[in-house]
Amino acid sequence: MSMSKFIAALVCILFCVACEQQKNTFTDTRDSKVYKTVKIGGQVWLAENLNYNASGSKCYDNKPDNCDKYGRLYSWETAMKSCPSGWHLPGSAELEVLMEMVGDEKNDTEEDKFGFFTLQGGYGYLSGYFYDINNFSYWWSTDEYGSYSTYRRHIYYNNEYTDDDSYIKSLLRSVRCVQD
């Protein structure tokens, strides 16, 4: 093979890889952050926790490096309006489809078959207290449970299970957006 054919083939391979990677990302036009995406059960999800600096959102322990690694934490009210255009906070039914597809998949980046799970961002309080980083992932849903609570999904790293329950809206949780 001549050097020019080799270079042409290499360029083609690199272009195809770049195109494939581009298909699996989304750029938030509000802040130019690029997120991995994944299609699971007919739904397209951000494969990372949202890291949009919405008013009222916080970094775990108020440290910007934690936002870079785990995404931001949001109150339910802030989470409801934080997903970018063309995306939304999922309802319980959408989360149920997701969890039916991934099952009790271990939340370990080395064993993550779906490319959905990331490091566990924990949760926090508006007052500034934070808990469970690297142990739990908590994601908001749109479904309310009474006036002060909402359903949420969480994954506990060491026990490898997923569960739904309700929690007060003022706590700070992670956000995973699903495409409209």
Nearest to 106 by CA among 159, 46, 50, 48: 159
CA–CA distances in Å: residue 8 to residues 20, 28, 126: 18, 33, 55
Which DSSP letter does residue 62 get?
Answer: G
Q: Are 139 and 74 in contact (CB under 8 A)?
A: no
3 pLDDT more than 70 = no
Which DSSP letter does residue 89 get?
Answer: P
How much is the pLDDT for 154? 56
Among the ranges given (46-55, 93-102, 124-133, 164-173), the one the predictor scored with the smallest mean pLDDT: 164-173
25 pLDDT more than 50 = yes
Cα dihedral angle (31, 32, 35, 37), rounded to 10 degrees?
110
**pLDDT tens digits for range 131-141:** 999 888 888 88
| Mean pLDDT confidence for 39-45 | 92
19 pLDDT more than 70 = no
